[in-house]
Amino acid sequence: MKNLSDQEIIDSVLKGNESDYSIIVDRYKDKAFSMLKRMLKSDFDAEEVLQDCFLKAYYSLKSFKGEAKFSTWFYKIVYNTALTKLSSKKRKIELEMSSVEDHFSLKSDYDSVDVEKKDLSKFMHEIINKLPERYSVVVSLFYLNEMSVEEISEVLQISVSNVKVMLYRARNSLRDLILSSKLAKEII
Amino acid sequence: MIKITDDILNKYLDGELNPEESKQVRTELQTSRDLQKKFNTLKLVHETLLNLAEDEVSADFTSNIMSKIGHKKFVVPRQQKYFIFSIAAFITILCLVIFGFSISAIISTSSPPSESLNVVDTVTVLSSGLIDFIKHLFSGKGLSILGSVFSLVIIISGYFFFEMQKRAKADLGNGHHL
């Protein structure tokens, strides 16, 4: 059952086997949680919003026509629900103001960071959370959720070139941080 | 010769450059130590991100979701479908009975056809028959039957309207407003 495609599981749920929806939940919960955690900067809010997203998706399954992949459709729900949550926290204006054209720098937060190769993964986790919301969402969707830039552009409702710009900037920013750390000596 | 910018390095990493551009980048990387350092670090970032572990939700997350979904169904219950169908059938039969009754009333009140009767006379006879039937329907016993039928239809419609309202409210409560 676990090897079934998303569409096959959805068909089964729509036929009345509602317990099959738990396969979908298990399949996407951690990936979507990682994305939400980075957007909302809170474990509690992320889990609450994620519950809401799975319920929304369940009650809207009939409207899912299979034109796009289920994952794209679902992450669109996740992203929009997170935006609503952010706006309720009066942070949407902030988010919208941080457009693709805005530049950001993580250097001020990590001026003299001493990161070693063994800590790199942990350090990266921490740094991604410091990225502006939309940048961390792009990084999460691209790396954790293994989505293509085309799929990400559909989820975020922005152009493919803007997704690429955001991805490159996020990577460059992380690279510059590492280059200014002790780890740079090991890489050379 | 292309200028090796950060964007070019990112595109090279993602394999988005054409063979000619890729060759140029490779040559530059072999000659410039600074560029090599930049690219190696970018590659390290890319590889670390690829192996980044997912965050995990609480252990009972799935069971919580499934219990919330519970017995609610998003399809119209079969029972409700049958009920709607039976109401539609009842109204159709009622219309057919009224129509049939009116036709028979018209025929019974009209005089036997004669050769002298022209089209105008036939219409006059038929219309007077129809008027008599309507008069009969809206007077005394006929009116009370008609009233009962309409009351029944109104009560049934009211029940469905109430059910629809309840359903819409429940849907909104579940965030079904995408």
CA distance to partner chain B, nearest, from residue A141 (Å): 11
User: What pLDDT score was predicted for residue B173?
Assistant: 47
Q: Which of A16, A26, A178 sits opposite B45 (nearest CB)?
A: A178
- Spatial neighbors of A106 by CB under 8 A, at least 6 apart, are A127, A130, A131, A173, A174, A176, A177
Q: A59–B176: do the CB atoms touch at under 8 Å?
A: yes
Cβ atoms of residues B51 and A3 within 8 Å: no
Of A62-71, A160-169, B119-128, B148-157, the poorest mean pLDDT is in B119-128
User: What pLDDT score was predicted for residue B161?
Assistant: 80
Q: Give the mean pLDDT of chain B.
A: 78
Instruction: Find the mean pLDDT for residues B19-25.
Output: 92
Q: Dihedral through CA A165, CA A143, CA B51, CA A95, nearest 10?
A: 70
Q: Which of A43, A54, A178 sits opposite B65 (nearest CB)?
A: A54
Over the stretch A99-110, which tens digit does the pLDDT of each residue have?
Answer: 555 556 665 555
Taking contacts as CB-CB distances below 8 angstroms, the residues of chain A near B41 are 175, 178-179, 184, 187
Supply the angle between the helices A160-179 and B6-13 in degrees, to the nearest 10.
Answer: 100
| B174: confidence class by pLDDT, cuts 50, 70, 90 | very low
Instruction: Find the mean pLDDT for residues A161-182.
Output: 88
Q: Give the mean pLDDT of chain A.
A: 83
| A66: confidence class by pLDDT, cuts 50, 70, 90 | confident
Count of residues for chain A? 188
Position B38 pLDDT exceeds 80: yes
Q: Residue B70: which region, alpha, beta or left (left: phi > 0; alpha: psi -120 to 50)?
A: left
Q: DSSP letter string over B50-106?
A: HTPPPP---TTHHHHHHHHHTT--SSPPHHHHHHHHHHHHHHHHHHHHHHHHHHHHH
- The model's pTM: 0.63
Burial class (CB in 10 A: 0-12, 13-18, 19+), A49: buried
Among candidates B53, B52, B60, which has minimal Cα distance to A25?
B60
Position A143 pLDDT exceeds 60: yes
Position B70 pLDDT exceeds 80: no
The pair of three-digit structure tokens given for residue B47, joined into one six-digit string: 């590889």
% residues pLDDT > 70 (chain A): 80
Q: Does A85 touch chain B (CB under 8 A)?
A: no
Q: Does A128 or B38 have the greater pLDDT score? A: B38
User: What pLDDT score was predicted for residue B165?
Assistant: 78
Q: State the residue for tokens 């990112």.
A: B10
Alpha-helix runs per DSSP H in B110-140: 119-137
